[in-house]
Amino acid sequence: MAAIDPGELAAELRSRLRLRADPIALKLFERAADMEAIAGLRRPEAGVHFSMCQLIGQVRWLGFTMGITHDNVMPNSNCGGVAGLNAPAPKYLDGSMFHGVWFATVEASREHQAQMPRVGAGRYQALAAGPLAKGRIADPDAVLVYATPGQMILLVNALQHRRYVRADFTVTGETACADSWGRGLSTGEPSISIPCFAERRFGGVQDDELLICLRLEHLQEVVTGLDWLAQRGIRYPIPPYGPQCDPAKAFEVSYAGKL
């Protein structure tokens, strides 16, 4: 399959699924200095701290290309730890931080952290995030796509159309970025998440949205698959047929001669 320009790929995906915003490219750097060569890179002001989902939200909604280091995320937080920018603070790992807030017992709080997918702790100094359509981040490690459930299921169908793999996803609960960019960057495999309270409160994730983290080659396969499915009458938006109609005619469109 011929390579597709990332900007073209982003435009095609957004058009076929009618996404609200462009996919987001992510790239990790072991040395922060290597990130500085990215054109149009923005850095948070010194002394100003954000949650990681806020920084990703600035990319998504404002179109910024962000350079992120541990110093930019909330001090002593778990935000940078999920992306591998620092080791999680002890108060998270021992369960004391979330105990009494998200969990009724310190044991549940501690297990929440112990089972959380993370990129290798402290291995990376920086993370660049920017709209894939701008093409500023070359060879991204992963791409984020926010989508409604209807858009997401067709994205998964398209990914499976030639080489079927059953898609599993994890549900961490709060700190669900561990299920998307944490798991996706760690494994290199498509990772779907139900964005958490913080992502919706601080990052601007909408009430009806899911998030998937996947590689650029996965995204290319998705675009190819969406075109293939569209030729068979399966495309977005999905027109409702109605619960009181005989589905025979609708099935015949896709399953002609197979019923």
What's the DSSP call for residue 157? H
Measured on CA atoms in the order 124, 128, 132, 137, is the torsion positive or negative? negative
pLDDT tens, N- to C-terminus, the chain (259 residues): 456 689 999 999 999 999 999 999 999 999 999 999 999 999 999 889 999 999 999 999 999 999 999 889 887 778 888 998 887 888 999 999 999 999 999 999 999 999 999 998 678 999 999 999 999 999 999 999 999 999 999 999 999 999 999 988 999 999 999 999 999 999 999 999 999 999 999 999 999 999 999 999 999 999 999 999 999 989 999 999 888 999 988 888 888 877 7
pLDDT of 1:
47
What's the DSSP call for residue 103? B
Following CA atoms 39, 44, 45, 48 in sequence, which dihedral angle do they give, to the nearest 10 degrees? -170
pLDDT of 15:
96
Delimit the domains of the chain by residue range: 6-236+249-255
pLDDT of 80:
87
Task: State the pTM of this model.
Answer: 0.94
pLDDT of 77:
79
Decide: 53 and 175 in contact? Cβ < 8 Å: no
What's the DSSP call for residue 207? T
pLDDT of 107:
97
Residues 6+ apart with CB under 8 A from 62: none
Question: How many helical (H) and strand (E) elements, i.e. helices and strands, does the chain have?
Answer: 11, 7
